């Protein structure tokens, strides 16, 4: 027999900075949280609600009405602030809270199901000391309390299949939907305005709208992004927009706008990212494509914009983070990602790891910081031998698994796990994880490229180029493209296409002259082409970057035990010897 169901208003609450506070003062924090939980339980009971689950740093409660739940949540926020106002700002008890009205399953005293899960995820997107409610909850409370709501639009919540409309709440600001932002806009908040159809007829309108809608969906996949729903965005179609006012109205940090123009058999798409607060253009790009297949072109344009825009927003936010007086976990994550985007070097990887470690010290359950740390550890493996990185890789795999246990649908989590599997000689398992990442986010260019290299080490180098070309189609100016060019250099040598391998090797080092492995691969390709003087010069440059590199270490650092791969790889080892690399 199925468990009974009922409609309930669910309140989820979680203490802000709990892991950091426990690390700094375990006894004091435990006391503060326990006293706060006891006070919350009493206040909830007094309003007809009940706490049905407690965690170390939070709780879940149900109420008979949304109005009562919102009233209680705001009262608890005020009470928590009052009880800890004498403490330093970084030691005060503050909650993130989320409220959803939905169907729940009743199991004894416990409640489970999407109604509970959505409330918990709403809490996760609330600002510190703030409250987020779902559209279902908003419909039942709007106009009934002296509370202002800021419409954040349709938002992708972790492990929730469909986007949920989210409203941020601030007390004492007047009823209704807030006309202005309450507090700072979320860092990764953006609205994609309907693209303008320049000089095109009505028959082109569907394509223009498709670009706008697809881009809105793809940007929602960026970790932590808040993307205003298409219905709200399309309300601005054809209107002259003041981006500063738009940013205040919708509480967003960025505005993306663009245009589509057809001329003969070609189509041009212009797109630009604007910082709403200053109306400053921070990124712009132009795409020119033949009008051979509108839908294929739309997919390519959307994918490229989504990849480039994600990197650009991280870059801008990293600069903001550097100016922050008191960086939080997300600030440190932005800094770490920016260091990784600078390229693989001992200095960049070390700085990135430090940033991610600082983020985890503030918030030990921050999935983005966990995956950043995994990425840094995996990238360091490219700078060291596999044997020297064994312990670090074991720790990275455990951390990736922990991140996926918290957020199983995180595409970057599956990519990072696949990367670790590549470096621990499990290319088949790596491909499965990388393909899962692409199912969750088809625009992960680096996952496409990594699948290509996994095929290479499984003895199928002829399959590498198609995957790398798809990665380059999605992200032609990717900061990590030099690694992909290096993949093609290796694949070319394994197929005895040495001139092509040398061309890709040259492209790799022209893109990043400080990646030692590309130097050695280029040297080997040159040697196989008979250009020994150039090969020895490249090998010398590689040894300057990595003095401990030897052919023996390279032999041991094979990424699979596939017989076909190992047999073909011998010609690379012989070529490295010809180039003068120490044995």
On whether both 225 and 372 belong to a single domain, the answer is no
- Range 45-57 average pLDDT: 87
Q: Does a structural domain hold residue 167? A: yes
pLDDT level of residue 171 (50, 70, 90 thresholds): very low
Asked if the model's pLDDT at residue 118 lies above 90, the reply is yes
On whether both 310 and 363 belong to a single domain, the answer is no
Q: Does a structural domain hold residue 261? A: yes
Domain residue limits at 373: 324-417
On whether both 578 and 453 belong to a single domain, the answer is yes
> Between residues 404 and 171, which one has the greater pLDDT?
404
Q: Does a structural domain hold residue 181? A: no
On whether both 330 and 315 belong to a single domain, the answer is no
Asked if the model's pLDDT at residue 31 lies above 90, the reply is no
- The pLDDT assigned to 182 comes to 44
> Between residues 462 and 227, which one has the greater pLDDT?
462
Q: Per the structure, how many domains does the chain have?
A: 4
> Between residues 389 and 13, which one has the greater pLDDT?
13
**CA pair distance 371, 197, nearest whole angstrom:** 40
Give the pTM: 0.58
Asked if the model's pLDDT at residue 181 lies above 50, the reply is no
> Between residues 325 and 334, which one has the greater pLDDT?
334
Backbone Cα Rg of the chain: 26
- The pLDDT assigned to 298 comes to 66
Is the CB of residue 225 less than 8 Å from the CB of residue 190? yes
On whether both 485 and 579 belong to a single domain, the answer is yes
**CA pair distance 161, 158, nearest whole angstrom:** 8
Q: Does a structural domain hold residue 367? A: yes
Instruction: Return the beta strands (E) in 312-456 as ranges.
Output: none
Looking at residue 81, which CATH number applies to its domain? 3.30.70.1230
**CA pair distance 424, 48, nearest whole angstrom:** 55
Looking at residue 567, which CATH number applies to its domain? 1.25.40.10
Is the CB of residue 193 less than 8 Å from the CB of residue 255? yes
Asked if the model's pLDDT at residue 421 lies above 80, the reply is yes
> Between residues 316 and 45, which one has the greater pLDDT?
45
On whether both 488 and 575 belong to a single domain, the answer is yes
User: Of 276, 297, 320, which residue is a domain's last?
Assistant: 320
How does pLDDT run across 274-301, given as a tens digit for each residue? 888 888 888 888 877 776 666 666 666 7
- Range 62-87 average pLDDT: 85
Q: Does a structural domain hold residue 183? A: no
How does pLDDT run across 486-512, given as a tens digit for each residue? 999 999 999 999 999 999 999 999 998
- Range 229-234 average pLDDT: 66
The chain-wide mean pLDDT, for the chain, equals 84
**CA pair distance 171, 560, nearest whole angstrom:** 59
Backbone angles phi, psi at 289, to 5 degrees: -140, 150
User: Of 145, 176, 207, which residue is a domain's last?
Assistant: 176
Q: Does a structural domain hold residue 182? A: no
Looking at residue 372, which CATH number applies to its domain? 1.25.40
Q: Does a structural domain hold residue 98? A: yes
CB atoms within 10 A of CB 398: 12
- The pLDDT assigned to 174 comes to 35
pLDDT level of residue 383 (50, 70, 90 thresholds): confident
How does pLDDT run across 540-578, given as a tens digit for each residue? 999 999 898 999 999 988 899 999 999 999 999 999 999
On whether both 456 and 351 belong to a single domain, the answer is no
DSSP string, 214-250: HHHHHHTTSTT-EE--HHHHHTTTT----HHHHHHHH
On whether both 18 and 154 belong to a single domain, the answer is yes
On whether both 305 and 345 belong to a single domain, the answer is no
Asked if the model's pLDDT at residue 272 lies above 90, the reply is no
pLDDT above 90 covers what percent of the chain? 34
- The pLDDT assigned to 170 comes to 53
> Between residues 540 and 6, which one has the greater pLDDT?
540
- The pLDDT assigned to 223 comes to 63
**CA pair distance 5, 173, nearest whole angstrom:** 36
- Range 344-366 average pLDDT: 88
On whether both 226 and 368 belong to a single domain, the answer is no
**CA pair distance 184, 12, nearest whole angstrom:** 22
User: Of 320, 352, 375, which residue is a domain's last?
Assistant: 320
Q: Does a structural domain hold residue 436? A: no
On whether both 55 and 130 belong to a single domain, the answer is yes
- Residue 561 class from Cβ within 10 Å (0-12 exposed, 13-18 middle, 19+ buried)? exposed
- The pLDDT assigned to 79 comes to 82
**CA pair distance 498, 216, nearest whole angstrom:** 43
On whether both 73 and 148 belong to a single domain, the answer is yes
How does pLDDT run across 142-163, given as a tens digit for each residue? 777 777 777 777 777 877 878 8
């Amino acid at each position: 027999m199925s468990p009974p169901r009922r409609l309930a208003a669910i309140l989820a609450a979680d203490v802000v900075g709990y892991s950091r506070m426990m690390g700094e003062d375990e006894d004091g924090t435990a006391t503060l949280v326990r006293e706060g939980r006891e006070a919350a339980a009493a206040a909830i009971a007094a309003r007809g609600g009940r706490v049905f689950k407690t965690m170390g740093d939070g709780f879940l409660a149900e109420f008979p009405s949304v109005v009562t739940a919102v009233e209680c949540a705001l009262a608890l926020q005020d009470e928590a602030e009052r009880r800890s106002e004498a403490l330093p700002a970084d030691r005060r008890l503050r909650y993130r809270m989320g409220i959803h009205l939905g169907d729940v399953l009743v199991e004894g005293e416990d409640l489970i199901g999407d109604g509970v899960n959505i409330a918990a995820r709403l809490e996760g997107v609330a600002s510190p000391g703030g409250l987020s409610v779902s559209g279902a909850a908003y419909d039942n409370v709007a106009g009934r309390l002296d509370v202002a709501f800021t419409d954040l639009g349709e938002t992708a919540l972790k492990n929730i299949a469909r986007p949920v409309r989210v409203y941020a709440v601030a007390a004492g600001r007047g009823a209704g939907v807030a006309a202005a932002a309450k507090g700072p806009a979320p860092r990764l908040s953006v609205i994609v305005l309907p693209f303008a159809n320049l000089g095109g007829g009505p028959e082109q309108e569907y394509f223009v709208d498709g670009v706008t809608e697809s881009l809105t969906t793809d940007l929602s996949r960026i970790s932590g992004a808040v993307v205003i729903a298409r219905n709200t965005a399309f309300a601005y179609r054809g209107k002259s927009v003041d981006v500063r006012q738009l940013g205040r109205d919708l509480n967003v940090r960025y505005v993306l706008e663009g245009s589509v123009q057809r001329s003969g058999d070609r189509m041009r798409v212009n797109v630009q990212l604007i910082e709403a607060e200053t109306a400053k253009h921070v990124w712009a790009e132009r795409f020119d494509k033949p009008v051979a297949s509108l839908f294929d072109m739309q997919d390519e344009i959307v994918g490229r914009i989504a990849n480039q825009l994600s990197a650009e927003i991280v870059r801008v936010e990293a600069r903001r983070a550097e100016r922050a007086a008191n960086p939080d976990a997300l600030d440190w994550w932005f800094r770490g990602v920016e260091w990784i985007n600078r390229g693989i070097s001992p200095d960049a990887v070390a700085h990135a790891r430090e940033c991610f470690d600082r983020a985890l010290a503030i918030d030990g359950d921050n999935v983005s910081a966990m995956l950043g740390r995994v990425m840094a550890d995996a990238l360091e493996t490219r700078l060291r031998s596999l044997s020297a990185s064994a312990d670090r890789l074991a720790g990275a795999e455990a951390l990736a698994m922990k991140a996926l246990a918290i957020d199983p649908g995180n595409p970057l989590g599956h990519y990072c796990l696949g990367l670790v599997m590549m470096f621990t000689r499990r290319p088949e398992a790596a491909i499965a994880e990388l393909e899962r990442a692409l199912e969750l986010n088809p625009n992960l260019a680096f996952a496409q490229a990594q699948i290509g290299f996994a095929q290479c080490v499984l003895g199928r180098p002829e399959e590498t180029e198609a995957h790398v070309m798809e990665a380059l189609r999605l992200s032609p100016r990717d900061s990590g493209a030099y690694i992909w060019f290096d993949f093609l250099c290796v694949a070319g040598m394994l197929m005895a296409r040495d001139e092509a391998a040398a061309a890709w090797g040259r492209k790799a080092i022209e893109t990043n002259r400080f990646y030692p492995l590309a130097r050695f691969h280029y040297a080997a390709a040159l040697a196989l082409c008979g250009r020994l003087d150039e090969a020895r010069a490249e090998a010398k440059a590689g040894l300057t970057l990595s003095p401990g590199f030897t052919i023996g270490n390279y032999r041991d650092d094979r990424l699979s035990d596939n017989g076909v791969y190992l047999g073909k790889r011998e010609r690379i080892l012989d070529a490295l010897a010809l180039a003068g690399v120490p044995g």
